[in-house]
Chain A
Amino acid sequence: MRENEFRDRLRDALGEPPRLPAPQLTPSDAGVSRGYPRGMALLAVGLAVLLVLALVASRIALRPTGMTQPGARGGVAMPADAFPCSLAVEAISTAQNPGQIAVTSVSLGFVNIPGGGFQVDPAATVVGLPVDAITGQNFYSAALKRWVPASIQTISPDGLSYTYVKLLPAGATLSNATSSEVHVFDVAKNADRKVWSGASNVQLIRWDSAGILFAVWPFRGGAVLLWRIDPVTGAISQAPMDADPTRVPISALPGGGSSSYLGSDGHGQDVQRLGSRDKGTKYSIVVVASGRVTTLYTGTVGDSMDFDPVAVYSDGHGMWLGNSGGSRIWLWSPSSGLRSFPVTGLPPSPSGYAFTSFAFIPAGVCVPGTFAGVAAPGLPPATTPTPSPSPPQVDWAPLIAKPLNLQQLSSGARCPVSTKVDLVVTTNGPKKGGPNYGFGQGPVYISGQTSWYAGTQGVIFLTDPKYTGPVLVRGMRLDGTGSLTLSGEGATTLANGAIGLAETSSPPYWGIWFGMLTPSAPGCYGIQFDGTSFSSSAVIGVSPGPVPPG
């Protein structure tokens, strides 16, 4: 599937945002010290009291123990620095060409530490084990000496069981499920047990010593509730809101700076990045556990450390972290600090792709000894995906050579705005339709807005299926100085602000290109479309900005 097609489907599914009022930009705009929306200020005191009570209660219930190094899941306890060992990983190869969703391959295997060689586990299989309706992740249990269809979050602390979600009736999908069940599967005993059921959506969050934490909300959308199950007794209780692993203590964010959740190690330790990615900016990688924040690394964006974690897991050695790009594995422990192990044995990059990447997701303990598996396979070359992986090559020179027919208006002349044309647009998307209007003479129309403003806004170019070739788009202001900038995925940027659309319609379906249009100033603007068999234009009137929301 092409990215634009997925984008179209996603927009259909989520809908366009309604017009929302512009926010008050500063407290002085609000005329009060704090402009809480819709009377929230009236509830603030009461909620604050409730919040304090909840926090106190949760702290008592959870008995925080501070930053401790957890034992390995799967019953393997080992001292730090017990090398060599083999770290279980999910290895993800990704390859992509512009305009297409990536091709991805997942291999299960081990990275030998400290040497760094990656080996695929040829015996890795989860066939025959119940699989979660959602996650699709895998985990290596050292206790079971096998892979299971679980994630770091859904494996039991002893590594012998995992929890998963089942949708009912059997074979149901999210669109027709009537209920969900949370199950615990004991792999060693081959025993399955239902521990919760309800007519709701379920998302498993983590299984730790406190039980199985999961979120529940109605199938048709609604309030999210956090619950915790004792897998032994089946007792269920509502969980405190600070049980959410993506939560960062306010104390860790002095000055209201930004934070990014990077992952959870499955033992109650969550890794966050504090600070932006702007070059030269100071940032920190921190571990949050039981409300305490421990800094793993503080550096400056662009420094030589290349510490860019993407996933985490803890065992007796410390906390393992995958790195963006897959070039190394990191290990952090309170006693030894931060170390890195360069990885070798990456699968060969497939040919024919503009972009390839490789990432390791820690998926279990670092097992004592060196693992001898097989070399990682590469992805097939780019000829496999359909439709063709790259847009057709277009010689734009003949279209650029066509005369620009847009004429400057004389002073005071009225802007000859194009009349709206009703269209019946059929697309290959799930709704089999698109915008039902456009402006212009065809076969290419400008659409997506009925009013235009100075500033950046979305634009759609619709191409009637009676024309299938490339289209050159040029724009200019007709009543003064100013520019019209067009940009978007799938468009070739050409000289003098023109863009080229190599792929347009595919009969019987219309071509739909989504992009951004930016008139630099209010005024009258002309847009000319040139194809191999036509030249046409549309004229739009642009009002003063900013572009209204929505």
Chain B
Amino acid sequence: MALDALTDANRDRLFADLVTPLVPAAQRLAYGMLQNAHDSEDAVQEATFKAWRAFPRLREDANHRAWFLTIVANECKQRRRNRWWSILKLAAPDHQDPGPQGLDGTSIDLRRAVTRLPADMKLAIVLRYYLDLEFEDVGRVLGVSDKAAKARVHRALIRLRVDAGEMLNDA
């Protein structure tokens, strides 16, 4: 049965069944990207509504997790880009959580280095090492092949090595 042929009520129930198990991963992805609880909550909420709107056009045999995480990732990137705008107009305070307490120097270096990564490199690192996705799934979310996903993760690691070199080269 095509998704767009469902009644609204059935479609909502199907959507809820499909998305609910994906919410923890979505929230983890958002937090890894944005490093701010409120921003993460908003990003997942906004992405969920976007997914709901796009749901009737989703192919039945599509990879639902990759589809939803891609929407969340795009929402996070959009928020990261637009952050300065909302800051200026709403005079909001600092938008990044201070980070885990008691971090040592290498962790602070790594956190900052990850923060400085371009959005797509950061997304690749977060998907691979913060969400533990296989490269095939990383590629699905990035919209690239698993080989290209590996290449992107590795380029991000190269950049991290430059930025936080000692701690990543010490082994």
Contacts and interface: CB of A to CB of B under 8 A. Distances in A.
A25 B150 contact: no
Contact of A550 (B24, B42, B53): B24
Contacts of A280: 59, 61
Interface stretch (A64-72, A251-259, A503-511): A251-259
B42 A11 contact: no
Contacts of B105: 175
Given A11-B130, A104-B158, A25 B98 contact: no
A101 interface: yes
A339 interface: no
B154 A50 contact: no
A441 interface: no
| Chain A interface mostly | loop
Interface of A: 1-3, 5-7, 9-18, 20-28, 34-35, 37-38, 40, 43, 46-47, 50, 54, 92, 94, 96, 101-102, 104, 106, 133-136, 173-175, 201, 203, 218-226, 241, 244, 246-247, 255-262, 273, 275-278, 280-281, 283, 308, 310, 324-325, 355, 357, 359, 386-387, 430-431, 455-457, 488-489, 514, 516, 545-550
Interface of B: 12, 15-16, 19-21, 23-24, 27-28, 30-32, 35, 37-38, 40-42, 44-46, 48-50, 52-54, 57, 59, 61-63, 66-67, 70-71, 74, 77-78, 80-90, 92, 94-100, 102-116, 118-120, 125, 129-130, 132, 139-140, 142-145, 147-148, 150-152, 154-155, 157-159, 162-164, 167-171
29 contacts: A6-B168, A10-B114, A10-B130, A11-B130, A12-B100, A17-B32, A20-B41, A25-B12, A26-B16, A37-B46, A40-B42, A50-B89, A102-B157, A134-B162, A174-B112, A219-B112, A221-B115, A222-B94, A223-B92, A223-B94, A223-B95, A224-B83, A225-B84, A226-B84, A255-B54, A258-B71, A276-B66, A277-B139, A430-B110
Nearest to B24: A549
Contacts of A255: 54, 57
A152 to B, nearest CB: 13
A4 B144 CA distance: 24
Given A3-B129, A20-B41, A260 B144 contact: yes
Contacts of B53: 256
A185 B70 CA distance: 39
A102 B129 CA distance: 14
Nearest to A11: B130
Contacts of B35: 14, 221
Given A25-B20, A35-B45, A430-B167, A310 B150 contact: no
Given A22-B23, A221-B98, A135 B59 contact: no
A203 B102 CA distance: 27
Contact of B144 (A15, A17, A223, A310): A310
Contacts of A38: 38, 42
A9 B148 CA distance: 24
Nearest to B112: A174
Contact of A13 (B42, B96, B97, B114): B114
B45 A24 contact: yes
Nearest to B113: A174
Contact of B54 (A15, A24, A257): A257
Contacts of B21: 455-456, 545-547
B23 A549 contact: yes
A278 B59 CA distance: 9
Given A136-B162, A258-B67, A17 B132 contact: no
A261 B107 contact: no
A193 B62 CA distance: 53
Nearest to B111: A13
B112 to A, nearest CB: 4
A13 B110 contact: yes
A513 B94 CA distance: 35
B144 A256 contact: no
Contact of B28 (A17, A106, A489): A17
Contacts of B84: 223-226, 241
Contacts of B145: 277, 308, 324-325
Contact of B163 (A16, A134, A225, A256): A134
Contact of B63 (A20, A47, A173, A276): A276
Contacts of A455: 21
A20 to B, nearest CB: 5
Which of B53, B85, B157, B170 has most chain A Cβ within 10 Å? B85
B37 A20 contact: yes
Contacts of B116: 134, 174, 201, 203
B69 to A, nearest CB: 9
B146 to A, nearest CB: 9
Which of A12, A226, A545 has most chain B Cβ within 10 Å? A12
Contacts of B20: 22, 25, 546
B120 A43 contact: no
B132 A7 contact: yes
Given A136-B159, A203-B118, A221-B95, 14 more contacts: A12-B110, A17-B40, A20-B40, A25-B48, A26-B15, A134-B159, A136-B162, A246-B120, A256-B50, A258-B67, A260-B142, A310-B152, A431-B107, A516-B132
A1 to B, nearest CB: 4
A30 to B, nearest CB: 9
A436 to B, nearest CB: 13
Given A37-B45, A488-B132, A47 B89 contact: yes
Nearest to B165: A173
Contacts of A283: 143
B154 A92 contact: yes
B74 to A, nearest CB: 6
A282 to B, nearest CB: 10
A518 to B, nearest CB: 10
A171 to B, nearest CB: 12
